[in-house]
Structure 1
């Protein structure tokens, strides 16, 4: 039997790598940024929020002994994203990892939806992911060391949620999934892996507002596991896809939905 040199725990170790996370001021993006630091990465934190969310994330990361930089930026602006990547690299080092979690959600009947509502969501959820990936990949390609990008999509890009009139949101997340696959194929021979995560119903601040209690119960009853995911349950999948443990994975959409899409 050949000598076994596998070190499984080391496959998930992100020590010495620099990551960038959009939407790092709240919800899934915030928890993933924290998890990346716990796995050894230094993390550039990007969000347009002004409520102290980025500072909260940065304080947590400091407690892990890792470095971070807080950057206020709008993902719909290529200039802002290019500047953010440049600052991240200037303060932390060459970018190797990225998670694009910035996004919004709202709903309205298709025939009644205002064009501005449709366009704003599309600009953030789809254009923002495209611009973010482009800025991140440009840096990774310039260094010639490869990298890994994970985009946060949604199971709503795979199925149509019962009782929710959100044609624009569903379309945006389907777009993120296929855009990720397309970018994965464009960069596959240059060492950049691109994958997506499609969360099911998740207990983010947006989904746990008091006025959402009735809808939350519906979400839980429709899910085979009979509960929503916690934001922490998106951290492991992200670390896996970013790490060497997923070195042969690119163009993958990982459903993390409590079994929802099985029904």
Structure 2
């Protein structure tokens, strides 16, 4: 369908070496976009993502940068525009997750979580918008989490939940600032998803709990985040901005 066709778009996806970011990068290529894949230096999965994008017949570009590094992000966006063309779509999926009881959490663990998951999203969106705003066209999608709207039972992750709540409200705030300039900003909040972190053997029992407490009685695959990302990035969502699209199998209803 033409509404979901991204042919002619140039997209930048952060966190593209694995998990949700990788799936979305490949999915945007399947929808017709050329893709710049960004992840932290040394990320082994970048080459795989790039190969799968090129396997769709699309142009790809691998970039290494820390999303906390303003200069590196600025240079990454410049390379996208130099090597692929004018940036028109961005998906900010870079992030981390871990758990520690709040009363025992070291200050550095708290700060690192917020620096990557929230400040990193802001700095990425800022660099992307500086390229898009003069052209008065573009879409930015930030990957948040249902944990930004609820506090998960049994998970000791106050820092993670706080970072994702921040992403949701940051998204709304940027959407309102940039709407008069033709730039849309939205968020996707995945529920429990089969990312590499959740496929580790040591969390096998926790996965059973995730499945039992989700109304659809299973976890999402990373590919199930592709449709929402394509929608929000495409003409099909031309009147959608400031929205947090929760993709959680019904979990927040309970």
Common fold, TM-score beyond 0.5?
yes
Say yes or no: does 1:210 pair with 2:201: yes
Residue number in structure 1 paired with 2:72: 80
Match of 1:69 among 58, 61, 76: 61
Report the Cα distance in structure 2 between the residues aligned to 1:141 and 1:178, rounded to whole angstroms: 20
Shift of 1:50: 2.1
Shift of 1:49: 5.0
Residue number in structure 2 paired with 1:5: none
Say yes or no: does 1:184 pair with 2:195: no
Match of 1:122 among 97, 110, 114: 114
Note the residue ranges of structure 1 that are not aligned, 5 or more in a row: 1-8
- TM-score when normalising by structure 1: 0.96
Say yes or no: does 1:238 pair with 2:229: yes
Contact persistence 1:14–1:39 (CA under 8 A): yes
Residue number in structure 1 paired with 2:26: 34
Shift of 1:51: 4.3
Residue number in structure 2 paired with 1:95: 87
Note the residue ranges of structure 2 that are not aligned, 5 or more in a row: none
Report the Cα distance in structure 2 between the residues aligned to 1:191 and 1:145, rounded to whole angstroms: 5
Contact persistence 1:25–1:49 (CA under 8 A): no
Match of 1:59 among 51, 75, 96: 51
**Superposed counterparts of 1:117-196, under 5 Å:** 117-142=109-134, 144-196=135-187
Report the Cα distance in structure 1 between the residues aligned to 2:62 and 2:31, rounded to whole angstroms: 19
| Residue correspondences, number | 254
Contact persistence 2:40–2:64 (CA under 8 A): yes
Contact persistence 2:142–2:171 (CA under 8 A): yes
Residue number in structure 2 paired with 1:46: 38
Shift of 1:146: 1.0
- TM-score when normalising by structure 2: 0.99
- Please tell me whether Structure 1 or Structure 2 has the larger radius of gyration of its CA atoms: 1
**1:92-117 Cα distance to aligned partner (Å, 9 max, x none):** 00000000000000011111000111
Report SS of the residue matched to 2:103. Answer: coil
Moved over 6 A (4+): none
**1:139-191 Cα distance to aligned partner (Å, 9 max, x none):** 0013x141000000000000000000100000000000000000000000100
Report the Cα distance in structure 2 between the residues aligned to 1:58 and 1:175, rounded to whole angstroms: 30
Residue number in structure 1 paired with 2:188: 197
